[in-house]
Amino acid sequence: MSIGKYCNRDVVTAPPGISVHAAARMMSQYHVGDLVLAEHVDRERCRPVGLITDRDLALRIVARNPPDQDDLLAVDLVPRPLVIANQNDDVFDVILNMRRANIRRIPVVDDFGLLVGIATADDLVGFLADRLHELSLLIRQQSLREEDIRAEDV
């Protein structure tokens, strides 16, 4: 199961040079908890270079209230090199990589490194819950079938 099948393809992007205040306004406008900072390679496609979250804004700007916050760019809040997933990566490998990197969101790219979507911990929990539900239905179905077989034997 490749992550490309399950990632959210509706990604809000912003240029790396966007101010933190403009980034916060974009998150509010689009009702999202993150922005993928990306450099456009053409009109429709872009290459992710960073990711900023509402948590980054809350903990690094609001809570600390730095004196230079009006001059800060979103890219200044990117804490580490961007961890990405290829759209062909296995869902479970992506989950493991997210845990290892201690991240809840991961941009998904194609073989050329261009953005195709984003996978979030919340989305992946939903994916796993759906699979577990299907498995529980199988178990229930087999139990009912065994009861029918026992009833026929009587």
pTM, full prediction: 0.83
Query: What is the Cα–Cα distance from 105 to 91, expressed in whole angstroms?
Result: 13
Segments making up each domain of the chain, as ranges: 3-153
* Residues 64-104 pLDDT 10s: 777 777 788 998 888 778 999 999 999 999 999 999 999 99
* Residues 96-134 pLDDT 10s: 999 999 999 999 999 999 999 999 999 999 889 988 888
Superfamily of domain 3-153: CBS-domain (3.10.580.10)
User: How many Cα atoms occupy the beta-carbon half-sphere of 11 within 13 Å?
Assistant: 29
* Encoded tokens for 130: 């759906």
* Residues 12-41 pLDDT 10s: 999 999 999 999 999 999 999 999 999 999
Nearest to 119 by CA among 129, 131, 104, 130: 104
* Encoded tokens for 81: 């090199």
